[in-house]
């Protein structure tokens, strides 16, 4: 009989996940078995917990599956490896993170580095298939990213929260190449704090961060924000325009509500760029003709790619990015999600199954 491990699984649509026992998975061809050192909890996990069955089925997901898509761990073993696996750079015992965004590696979008658009992207580890809230997980070798001496028990959030922030920053960095350029980050939760650090590492721009929570604002200041503002509300756009000498060049909105989108659009100068990263589903019920800056561009929801994960892993290794995480045991996972849902966390929670 196969050996068993603990796993936190969604077993039925619309029901709370359960801490249960499942067989330790066996790596298939060109896959590795990874001992999970830490798995970051993400807001999208909460969405999955309450997702109607029709939505999950339309995504091609089948119950049950183990949650968790921000995974750091160590390589335990490999399945049979073909010549195309490029496994020679990895060894048993090595610390890695697993690319969170799923991709096929073969389609036209994958070939041009736009794995976010790959038709395989809707199902991955922790969203439709077994993820990292377990003692072990399997992953294709092509999803492994080496992290050197970084602690894999804390590095999981690199693969999603930090990578998503990096994707947005990399895309707007061309607007932020002079010291008198400015960028507003709306929201200083997990993603916003990463966005601050990556902006500070990759651009000379002045970084303005807006958040309601004073603890998050002070963390943003420690992590590269030049100025922090209380918000988001009706006065936010005016405050941002004043703080940026007439308007910011770039807005990175990691919230995505009606209020944040309107505040962001109204705080931009002409020719700027608005990156919508947050997935709160906000609307923009304003006339686009008279309310918004001229010549601005808008980036819709983006996600991240393998290149982003590698880039943030490198920034972490250089000390340009800090991981603001607190750790919890797998037995504490339900309470940890409750705290995430309450919305008052500073940084990310990483669940360490070995604790």
Contact residues: Zn ion, CB under 5 A? 42, 44, 103-104, 107, 110, 118, 160
| Shortest spacing between CB 86 and Zn ion, in angstroms | 17
> Considering the complex, what minimum distance in angstroms separates the CB of residue 7 from Zn ion?
18
Question: Which CB sits closer to Zn ion, 73 or 124?
Answer: 124
Nearer to Zn ion, 103 or 236 (CB): 103
CA distances (Å), 350 to each of 171, 216, 304, in order?
28, 18, 20
Report, in Å, the least distance between residue 160 CB and Zn ion.
Answer: 4
* Identity of the residue, 131 or 247, whose beta carbon is nearer to Zn ion in the bound complex: 131
Q: CA 148, CA 326: separation in Å to the nearest integer?
A: 21
Q: Smallest gap, in angstroms, from Cβ of residue 44 to Zn ion?
A: 4
Q: How far is the CB of 70 from Zn ion (least distance, A)?
A: 6
Q: Which is nearer to Zn ion, 103 or 352 (CB)?
A: 103
Q: Which is nearer to Zn ion, 263 or 351 (CB)?
A: 351
Q: Which is nearer to Zn ion, 118 or 296 (CB)?
A: 118
SS3 of the chain: the string is: CCCEEEEEEECCCCCCCEEEEEECCCCCCCEEEEEEEEEECCHHHHHHHCCCHHHHHHCCCCCCEECCCEEEEEEEEECCCCHHHCHHHCCCCCEEEECCCCCCCCCHHHHCCCHHHCHHHHCEECEEECCCCECEEEEEHHHEEECCCCCCCCCHHHHCHHHHHHHHHHHHHHHCCCCCCEEEEECCCHHHHHHHHHHHHHCCCEEEEECCCHHHHHHHHHCCCCEEECCCCCCHHHHHHHHCCCCEEEEEECCCCHHHHHHHHHHEEEEEEEEECCCCCCCCCCCCCCCCCCCCEEECCCCCCHHHHHHHHHHHHCCCCCCCEEEEEHHHHHHHHHHHHHCCCCCEEEEECCC
Q: How far is the CB of 10 from Zn ion (least distance, A)?
A: 15
Residue among 46 and 107 whose Cβ is closer to Zn ion: 107
Of 136, 150, 137, 171, nearest to 299 (Cα)? 171
Closest contact distance (angstroms) between CB of 171 and Zn ion is 19
Query: Considering the complex, what minimum distance in angstroms separates the CB of residue 170 from Zn ion?
Result: 18
Query: Quick one: 120 or 346, whose CB is closer to Zn ion?
Result: 120
Question: Which residue from 236, 288, 226 is spatially nearest to 257, judged by alpha carbons?
Answer: 236
Length of the chain: 355
Q: Which is nearer to Zn ion, 41 or 268 (CB)?
A: 41
Torsion sign over Cα 209, 214, 218, 219: negative
CB of 118 to Zn ion, least distance (A): 3
**Shorter beta-carbon distance to Zn ion: residue 182 or 304:** 304
| Shortest reach from residue 37's CB to Zn ion, in Å | 18
Q: Which of 118, 146, 137 is nearest to 309 (CA)?
A: 146
């Amino acid at each position: 009989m196969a050996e068993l491990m603990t796993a936190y699984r969604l077993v039925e649509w619309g029901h709370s996940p359960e801490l249960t026992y499942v067989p330790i998975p066996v790596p298939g061809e060109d896959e590795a078995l990874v001992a999970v050192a830490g798995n970051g909890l993400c807001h999208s996990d909460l969405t999955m917990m309450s997702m109607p069955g029709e939505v999950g089925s339309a995504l091609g997901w089948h119950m049950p599956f183990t949650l968790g898509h921000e995974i750091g761990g160590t390589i335990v073993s490999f399945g049979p490896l073909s010549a195309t696996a490029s496994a020679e750079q990895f060894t048993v015992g090595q610390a890695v993170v697993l690319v969170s965004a799923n991709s096929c590696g073969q389609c036209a979008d994958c070939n041009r580095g736009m794995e976010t658009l790959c038709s395989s992207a809707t199902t991955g580890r922790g969203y439709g298939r077994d993820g990292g809230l377990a003692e072990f997980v399997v992953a294709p070798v092509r999803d492994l990213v080496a992290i050197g001496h970084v602690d894999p028990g804390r590095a999981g959030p690199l693969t999603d929260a930090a990578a998503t922030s990096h994707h947005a920053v990399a895309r707007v960095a061309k607007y932020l190449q002079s010291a008198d350029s400015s960028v507003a980050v709306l929201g200083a939760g997990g993603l916003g704090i990463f966005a601050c650090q990556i902006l500070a590492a990759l651009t000379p721009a002045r970084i303005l961060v807006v958040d309601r929570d004073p603890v998050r604002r002070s963390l943003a200041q420690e992590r590269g924000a030049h100025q922090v503002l209380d918000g988001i509300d009706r006065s936010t756009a005016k405050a941002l325009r004043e703080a940026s000498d007439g308007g910011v060049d770039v807005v990175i909105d990691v919230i995505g509500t009606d209020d944040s989108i309107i505040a962001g659009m109204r705080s931009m100068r002409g020719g700027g760029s608005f990156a919508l990263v947050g997935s709160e589903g906000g609307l923009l019920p304003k006339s686009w003709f008279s309310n918004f800056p001229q010549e601005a561009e808008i980036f819709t929801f983006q996600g991240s790619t393998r290149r982003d994960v590698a880039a943030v892993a490198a920034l972490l290794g250089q000390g340009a990015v800090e991981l603001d995480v607190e750790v919890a045991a797998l037995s504490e996972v339900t309470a940890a999600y409750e705290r995430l849902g309450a919305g008052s966390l500073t940084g990310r929670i990483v669940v360490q199954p070995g604790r």
